[in-house]
Each structure stands twice: as structure tokens, then as C-alpha cells.
Chains A and B, each alone.
Chain A
Amino acid sequence: MSGTINNTINSIECCEAGMQKKTVFQGSGPILKKTKLSISAHQVKDNNEASECQDKFDDMPDCLILHILSFMETKEAVRTCVLSKRWRNLWTSILCLNFNSKSFHRLADFKKFVLWVLSRRDSSLVKVLTYCRASVDYATDQNLFNKVIDHATSHGIEEIRINLRAKICGSPPVDIPLSLFNCQSLKRLELKNCHPTNVSLPLTCEPMKKLLHLEHFTVDPDRAEFSNSFACLANLFGFTTLTTLSLSNMTLSCTGIDSLNPFVNCVNLKNLHLSKMSFKSELVPKDFVISAPRLNHLTLTCNRFKCKIVVAAPQLINFSYLYFSPCAFFEFSIPSLDDLTFDIREPNNQSEEPHQRRGQMTSHGSINMIRGHHDTKLSFSTAEVTCGIAVMPEKEERSSISKWKSLNLHAGSTYKIFINNLDHITAYFRRFSQNEDFEIVTV
């Protein structure tokens, strides 16, 4: 540890740009300068050889330090104020606020800390807000929550992640501040463990959100206006601008509708992930239609839909399905299945679903692919099926089946066979069909 704080690495161009406060680092990239660089390069080299020690942060532009701090919890970032005079007020300009009550012994301390941080942060922008308040009881500090959200939404927030987990039981009630719904700068919103009490608010103007992730988000199905929870969510958050929608661990209701088509207004939706979703038992639609004009990726994981799932997404390129409900029934209404990748799996007993019984023989239900247009070709690049029933429509022409590049079959986790033509596939299924779970329909 020699005290050589004689830095010569001063030509990192970002220093110049970075010293100006409030520079957004992504945009403030350096430009290759051809002059003077060769001289400084030698200095850098010599200096490096002469001494390996130097105050490393001394030649680091503020923008880079802020970048590092933005990956930490705000509490940790604030603690850097005592490092040296240079660091004293650096944290007040961080672009990412990350509050987590778990880092505090008492919720009272957490509250004081959050309010203190907000009061210290003049007009600096906030790009990302992470707010996790795990309460011991079934209560949310509404006042604090409002202050944090209001601060973020008035400082150019782009991404918000909220988790209000109660220790004893899931989703505590919360009034979602109006400013959150009307925030125009917001692009990504994640809400976990929330039970909003003011969900009947009409959407005045839809923000340009791109991503919405809701998890353990309770929509009260007993109240009259929630006869269709999806419509309620769409009304609340606005679905039309979304490119990614992810819903997880939610119980929904749907009454009086034969065919539920909740995503029909998602005109920009490219990615849809539904996991651990279920309908309230007696309130089940006959058909659950997933119809979105631009949908590319559809992931269904461990949902309990006791109804037919109709996928009508003309631009679908990837369909991933993790089994849960034994009576899931699919219908694909897609003009072309060319280059569509199917990935159908059962819960892996190690990772995906811990409550799935080990070694249990399951069938993922029938996957019935009915094609609306008979002149299109069925060509899977990969179809991954876990021992179950594969029902192909009888109208299917043999020639189109032969276009299957490969069928990857897993029986449990032990078999992995690649089969190139239908005879082998049926032979394969026959071999494993002593078990009553299997039914083989050949073309």
C-alpha cells in the first residue's frame, strides 16, 4: 500500500463528460479521440509498471461511481458518504432508488430512512425505483408508499418494482396512488403482493408502459365489478401499449362469458407469460382465448385453467408450456406453424415445481393442433414433448408430418430420443403406452 496517488490515467474521456452532473451515462459515451492519446498511453503504461497502487476511485469519473452505486441498495449507497469528501454527496445523484425494509431492524427506521433520502434528493432524476416493504402484519404504510411513488413519478421514473409482502399472509391492501396510473414516463411496472383497494378507478389516459408484471396481485372476485378480472386489470393498467405482460399467482374470476378473450386489445403485445393463474372454481369460461395480433412468445406455466385454451396469435414463434392442469386442452388457430417452436414440459422434479410429486406419471393433456388453412405446412423445428398424449389431427397429410425436423421426447428425465419420422414416433409411443395414460392417434 504505497501512497502513490499520483495518477496519470487522466485521459479516460468519460472524466470530462462524466464530471458534469446529471449526465445520463448511457448517452454520455466517449468519442475516440486520436490526438494526445498515444502520449497518455505511455504514461499509463509506465505508471502501471512503476506502482500497482493508486487511489483507484480518484481517476474514476463520477458517472462511473454513480453507475456502481445504482446497483446497490440505497442504504448501502448512502453509507459511502463517509468514505471521503468526494463521496460525501455523490449518492444524492444516483438514478436508481432501492429501498428494502429487510435491511432494517425496525420498520420505523426504514420509514425514517426513506423519508430522509427523499428529502436529501433535490431534483435529481430517478430512473428505477425498487420498493420492498415486508410488513409483519397485514398492513401497508400508505402514507410512506404515497410519498415514495409521488417522488418517483415526479422525477422521470421509467421503471418501478413494488413488493408489499406481509409476513403472515400474502397481499396486504393498498391504495395505489393515482400518480402511478397517470405517469407518462413509466415504461416498466412490477407489482407483487398487492391487494389494491381502489381498483375501480377509470383510466384517464393510458401511460406508455411497455412491460407490466403482476404477481400475487389480488383482485377481489366477490365484488360486483370484478365479474371479469381481466377486464378490470386492463381497465386499471391499460394493456394497449404493453409489449410484455407477465401475470403470476393470481386468482381470477369470469362470469357470464362463454369465451374469454382478455388480450384482444393488446395490439402491441409481443411477450405473454401466465404462470400459476387460476379461475375461481365456479367461475370458469368455456374457452380461454389468447388472441393478440403481434404476439411472438407465449409462456404458460403451471396454470390451472379448467377450460379449452385457444391460441390465435398469427405471429407466434415460440410457445412454451409447463404442465399443471391435467385437463388442459389446446386449440391452435394459427395461419402457419412454420418455424414455430413448441416447448412442452412437465414440472421438473428438481427445479420448477417443488410440490409436484416425484416420479408421478402425468399426461399434459391433449395437444390438438387444428389448422385453419390446409395448404400450410406443419414444420416444427423442435417439438419437445414429455411423455403424454400427442394427438394429431387426422386430416393432417403425411407429407407435412415428414417435415418435422425432430421430435424430442423425454420420458421422465432418463430418455432423450430424437426421432425423424412418424413410424418411430408411433413406435415410441406404443412402447410407452402400456401405461393407461397414453393414447396414440396416428395419421
Chain B
Amino acid sequence: MAAEKSSIKIITLIAADGSVFEVEPNIVKEMKTVQSYIDELDQNTVSIPLPNVFGNDLAMIIEYCKKHASEEETKEAKEEFDFEFVKRMKSDDKLRLLQAASYLNMESFLQFMAKAIAAEIENQSVEFVRDYFQIESDFTPEEEAELRKENEWAFK
């Protein structure tokens, strides 16, 4: 089994929009969904459709994986990269990437995205969070007032 695995040179990932990415096996190690798929196959070349991930998102995920899989990069460089990586994303991107991370079963990337989203909505007003993520309140004003009263210590 080990020999078969090591014989795989390049893995082809096909995103939802049909865009194709060729990556080294060590890049997809973090993607457990993909890895388990590879492990089941005996072929030398693997092509994997990822119909729930868009090309743009997949490109970002691969960029992240490449940086973090690199042994040459220092811890500081990786942190710097993470900082910039989050900075250039809109909230939409983060939510899509979080879902993609969940679908691909990427534990640390999922943590990373969840943390980034949490940082955005933390210390914001309820109205802001609702507006930001476009959640439509299905409470009546009375119900909401009641809830606020019930959880008053959180709103102090």
C-alpha cells in the first residue's frame, strides 16, 4: 500500500467550475476527504472531482496548503502569510472557504477560517452581525425584547 501511495506523482483536482489544479501529493494530505479517496485507489495518476468547491476557492486553499506544507518556511513567515491571507478576503470568501474546509475535511484550515470569522463578528452589535451575514430575524420585536431580557447578562 505504501509503495502504491508513493508512486502517485501528481494529483489533479477538478473544481466545481471545471478548473483544473495539479498538485503534489503532500499538498492534499491536509484534505482528508481527498486523501481517503486517493488511498482507496490503486492508480498512479489520480483525478478527483470536487464539485462543492469553486476554482477560486480551491486556488486559495491550495496556496494555503503549499505555504503550510513547506518545511523551508519559518513559523513567522507562515504567521505573516496567514495574516495577509485573511486580510485580503471578504466575509463571503471566508464563509465559502469555511464550508469548503468542512467538505474537504481540513481540520486546521477549518479552525483557521472559523477563527477569522469569529474575529469579525466578535464585539459587534447584534444588528451589525445580522446585517453582515444577512440573517433575517424571524422574531417579533416583542419576542426579541423578551429574549434580551432573558439573557440580560450577555447584553450588559
Residues of A within 8 A of B92 (CB): 52, 56
**Contact present for A12 and B103 (CB under 8 Å):** yes
Given A40-B52, A44-B16, A84-B137: A71 touches B129 (CB 8 Å cut-off): no
For window 56-115 of A, CB contacts with B under 8 Å fall at 56-57, 59-61, 63-64, 67-73, 75-76, 78-85, 87-88, 104-105, 109, 112-113
Q: List 26 A-B contacts (CB under 8 A).
A: A1-B134, A9-B99, A29-B102, A29-B105, A30-B102, A31-B36, A32-B36, A38-B49, A38-B51, A55-B133, A55-B134, A55-B135, A56-B95, A60-B99, A68-B114, A68-B121, A71-B119, A72-B121, A78-B151, A78-B154, A79-B151, A80-B129, A84-B130, A84-B139, A109-B156, A116-B151
A45 beta carbon closer than 8 Å to chain B:
yes
A411 to B83, alpha carbons, bound, how many Å?
A: 32
A25 to B114, alpha carbons, bound, how many Å?
A: 12
**Contact present for B102 and A14 (CB under 8 Å):** yes
B136 beta carbon closer than 8 Å to chain A:
yes
Q: List 7 other contacts, CB 8 Å, given A44-B16, A56-B95, A79-B155.
A: A9-B99, A14-B102, A37-B49, A40-B51, A76-B123, A113-B156, A116-B153
Could you tell me the distance in whole angstroms from the C-beta of B135 to the nearest C-beta in chain A?
Answer: 5
Residues of B within 8 A of A68 (CB): 98, 114, 117-118, 121
**Contact present for B129 and A83 (CB under 8 Å):** yes
Residues of B within 8 A of A (CB): 16-17, 32-34, 36-37, 48-49, 51-52, 54, 92, 95, 98-99, 102-103, 105, 107, 110-111, 114-115, 117-119, 121-123, 126, 129-130, 133-139, 144, 147-148, 151, 153-156
**Contact present for A32 and B134 (CB under 8 Å):** no
**Contact present for B126 and A79 (CB under 8 Å):** yes
Residues of A within 8 A of B144 (CB): 82
Interface on chain A toward B: helix, strand, loop, or mixed SS?
A: loop
Residues of B within 8 A of A163 (CB): none
Residues of B within 8 A of A83 (CB): 126, 129-130, 135, 137
Interface on chain B toward A: helix, strand, loop, or mixed SS?
A: helix
Residue in B37, B122, B123, B136 with the greatest tally of chain A CB atoms within 10 Å = B122
Residues of A within 8 A of B139 (CB): 82, 84-85
A92 to B148, alpha carbons, bound, how many Å?
A: 15
**Contact present for A30 and B49 (CB under 8 Å):** no
Residue in A54, A57, A67, A68 with the greatest tally of chain B CB atoms within 10 Å = A68
Could you tell me the distance in whole angstroms from the C-beta of A290 to the nearest C-beta in chain B?
Answer: 24
Number of interface residues, chain A, beta carbon within 8 A: 59
Given A44-B52, A54-B134, A67-B110: A13 touches B103 (CB 8 Å cut-off): yes
A413 beta carbon closer than 8 Å to chain B:
no
Residues of B within 8 A of A441 (CB): none
Q: Which residue of A lies closest to B137 (CB)?
A: A84
Residues of A within 8 A of B137 (CB): 82-84
A68 to B51, alpha carbons, bound, how many Å?
A: 24
For window 35-59 of A, CB contacts with B under 8 Å fall at 37-38, 40-41, 44-45, 48, 52-57, 59
A360 beta carbon closer than 8 Å to chain B:
no
**Residue from A29, A55, A71, A73 in contact with B33 in the complex, judged by beta carbons closer than 8 Å:** A29
**Residue from A32, A34, A56, A78 in contact with B133 in the complex, judged by beta carbons closer than 8 Å:** A56
**Contact present for A73 and B102 (CB under 8 Å):** no
A278 to B74, alpha carbons, bound, how many Å?
A: 32
Residues of B within 8 A of A29 (CB): 32-33, 102, 105, 107
**Contact present for A11 and B52 (CB under 8 Å):** yes
A26 beta carbon closer than 8 Å to chain B:
yes
Residues of B within 8 A of A139 (CB): none
A87 to B153, alpha carbons, bound, how many Å?
A: 18
**Residue from B98, B119, B138 in contact with A84 in the complex, judged by beta carbons closer than 8 Å:** B138
**Residue from A67, A72, A82, A84 in contact with B148 in the complex, judged by beta carbons closer than 8 Å:** A82
